[in-house]
Structure 1
Amino acid sequence: MIRGLIFDLDGTLVDSLPGIATALNHALNDIELPNHPRDVVKTFIGDGLLNLITRALGPDHSNQQNELLAAFKKHYSQDWKDGTFPYPGITSLLEEFQQSNFPMAVLSNKPHEYTVEIVETLFPQNLFSQIRGHQEGYPKKPDPTTAHRIISDWNLKAEEVAYIGDSIVDLDTARNGKMTPLIFSWGYGTPEDFPLLHSVDDLRNVILGSS
């Protein structure tokens, strides 16, 4: 039985691609490098900020990593606000889960400060007991260490928790942590050959049908 829910952020709860692509291309303009189409930027997302920057630069400009990273941070602090949106129906579904007494958390590879700011801005207060982005000294997903810390705080077993995401990184996080993987089809880097959820109703049926 599923008793707790941990969510990825980008591509799962929110469509953040417009804001990320805008900030990245503004940053590339700053250092006089070519822009990337949004569909290409989509393939860069999911493994944390440094990997986003590395992929955007490619091997020919890897020596400009620090420069692009600083420029991206400058722009993203503003650009995410006009380019990050909860997926339709997600907020009301989260409120249903809360009313059904499921503890919920967010666990993302996005830097911690952005993760907290986005969640606290776009979603009602007190939906999530914990909001965790990537922080220095903690391993990124698909390492399940931070997920297990959350689960321990809930006094649950990993087998009682679903990890809900949109990518192969999220699938591996769930598997590595012995959690139930639930993967949406609408995100970034959707895994192949795995049963996907195609709507918020699909997730509602899985979770509320198991309680």
Structure 2
Amino acid sequence: MASHRTALRPTGSTSSRCSIQTEAQMATQNRKRGRLPGSDPTSAEDTTIRSRLLSLQKGVGCWHARVVTPQALIFDLDGTLVDSLPGIADSLTRALASLGLPPHKRLAIRGFIGHGARGLISRAAPAGSAEPLLAALEQAFKADYDLTWQQGTAVYPGVAGVLAHLQRRGIALAVLTNKPHAFATSMVGSLFPALTFAAVLGQREGIPHKPDPAGAIEIAATLGLPMSAVTLIGDSTMDIETARSAGMQAVAVSWGYHDRVALEASMPDALIDMPEELLASWV
């Protein structure tokens, strides 16, 4: 793990510009690997991703500090890989209505996400709600969400292609989320059928959830990797805190549900605005 973090600066600053290979550099690497032009069945997709990467050199929003090439990437789920806000908001609204409780605007619900099902319920229920009401609301939400989440959940544009590209390059992929474990495994399996994840861990009974580093450490142990060889990627300051507590690199994404200013203040190793920027320093 890098021993020093620098302040994040936008593209345009020489010291923080993303390190992106040129086509010529990529061709040289392919020759060293014994790969001839046109011989790679994935070259068309790789070229598309490469073109988008090269365009980032002229764009705005590529934030980059010192990032060491990882052997594995652990991703948060909600707000990082998938936009699940519509499904969560709709299920929560119906659950509240079923118990005669007032609804919340979607913007407010956006701020409830990331703390697990009970955290979501605790924030949505009226202040001072007793445990029986919280338990009933949580049960109603989970029952509804189990049947309807697919109607309100979508993979963020560009994410699936980037994950496939990373996997082809030999980087192990994993998911660590505070979403209940059964929902997490079902969602990842349904939305990313062509990908292989080394681990998918959601919130489990008796296991502390993020920002506790237990899940991240468990994934690294499963992979047989030191913490310094793993990068954790997420849309919240909780993900940054989890990475630091585990001794891993932290990459924050700006397209999720959490405030960009707070992400910047937490000083992740990198802050990115597009999924393709995940490849900028690593391929």
Cα-to-partner distance string for 1:115-147 (whole Å, 9 max, x where unaligned): 000000001244211111010111101111121
1:12 matched to 2:85:
no
Q: Give the whole-Å Cα distance in 1 for the aligned partners of 2:163 and 2:128.
A: 44
The aligned residue for residue 276 of structure 2 is 201
What is the CA distance between 1:166 and its match in structure 2?
A: 0.3
Q: Which runs of 5+ in 2 are unaligned?
A: 1-68
Secondary structure of residue in 2 paired with 1:2: coil
- Identity fraction in percent: 41
Cα-to-partner distance string for 1:22-64 (whole Å, 9 max, x where unaligned): 0000000100111111100001011111010000013143451
Q: Give the whole-Å Cα distance in 1 for the aligned partners of 2:196 and 2:282.
A: 16
Where do 1:113-192 residues align within 5 Å? Answer: 113-190=182-259, 191-192=263-264
Cα-to-partner distance string for 1:127-182 (whole Å, 9 max, x where unaligned): 21111101011110111112111111212111111001000110101111111100
1:61 matched to 2:129:
yes
Q: Give the whole-Å Cα distance in 2 for the aligned partners of 1:163 and 1:144.
A: 11
Tell me which amino acid in the other structure corresponds to 2:170: N
Tell me which amino acid in the other structure corresponds to 2:185: V
Contact in 1 for aligned 2:118/2:138 (Cα 8 Å):
yes
Contact in 1 for aligned 2:220/2:230 (Cα 8 Å):
yes
Contact in 1 for aligned 2:198/2:223 (Cα 8 Å):
no
Q: Give the whole-Å Cα distance in 2 for the aligned partners of 1:198 and 1:183.
A: 9
Larger displacement relative to structure 2 (102-111 or 188-197): 188-197
Tell me which amino acid in the other structure corresponds to 2:94: H
Give me the CA root mean square deviation. 1.3
The structure having more radius of gyration, on CA atoms, is 2
What is the CA distance between 1:108 and its match in structure 2?
A: 0.4
TM-score by length of 1: 0.94
What is the CA distance between 1:189 and its match in structure 2?
A: 2.2
- Give the paired residue count: 208
